[in-house]
Amino acid sequence: MDSGTRWNATRQRLYDAAVSLMAEQGFSATTVEEIAERAGVAKGTVYYNFSSKTGLLEALLRHGVGLLSASLEQAAADAAGRGGGRPEVLDAMIRAGLVFADRCPAFAQLYVAELWRTSRPWHATLTAVRRQVVAVVEEALRGGAGPGGPEWPGGPGSGWPDEDADVSLTASAVVGTLLTTALDWKAFQPERPLEEVHGALSRLLRGRIGGSGRSG
């Protein structure tokens, strides 16, 4: 194993330890010593990889949201590649988001909790990563694959999303509803299978975004 691989493995252990501790007891109550102990490394290793505990959290937010955004983008691309229109693309992204939250519940909990703490030193980082994931959904709702890319089926004039919809705000609402629903599922209804949660949330979001209760 080369030094780069060891460094990445160490960094991942620090990510995992920090996110679980901060989700359990909050950022302020979590010490660098606790992070190092749970990661199985020396305290100095934390500072070797990150400038501070705040720096670790900022890196954690960028890393986690990057993984979530990539999952949503891949789901959207796969659905569009199968000939799906915007409703089908959104449906695939909803499922991908639930899968992510199922696999990384501590990060989802930490991310949602930090959204409300606007006075924190890392607020600028949080604002940027929030915009990153919302932009992925917004692009899907607009029905394009980025500047110059092909438009997905169900484009302008299709009635989906609803013509009166504020797409930017709707995308924010989709992300918020997705993560909040995922957290409620994992905390209070873990016995429900993913497909059941996905089906219920998909019907809700697709119907509301399409207007007049339409499902697509």
Q: Total domain count for the chain?
A: 1
Q: Is residue 44 in a domain? A: no
Other C-beta atoms closer than 10 Å to the C-beta of 97 total: 26
Q: Is residue 123 in a domain? A: yes
Q: Is residue 118 in a domain? A: yes
Q: Is residue 141 in a domain? A: yes
Residue pLDDT, tens place only, 87-133: 899 999 999 999 999 999 999 999 998 888 888 888 899 999 999 99
Q: Are 80 and 183 in contact (CB under 8 A)?
A: no
Residue pLDDT, tens place only, 6-48: 458 888 999 999 999 999 998 989 999 999 999 999 999 999 9
Q: Is residue 4 in a domain? A: no
Q: Is residue 46 in a domain? A: no
Model pTM score = 0.84
Q: Is residue 39 in a domain? A: no
CA distances from 154 to 50, 169, 210 (A): 46, 20, 11
114: domain CATH number is 1.10.357.10
**What is the span of the domain harbouring residue 186?**
55-146+154-210
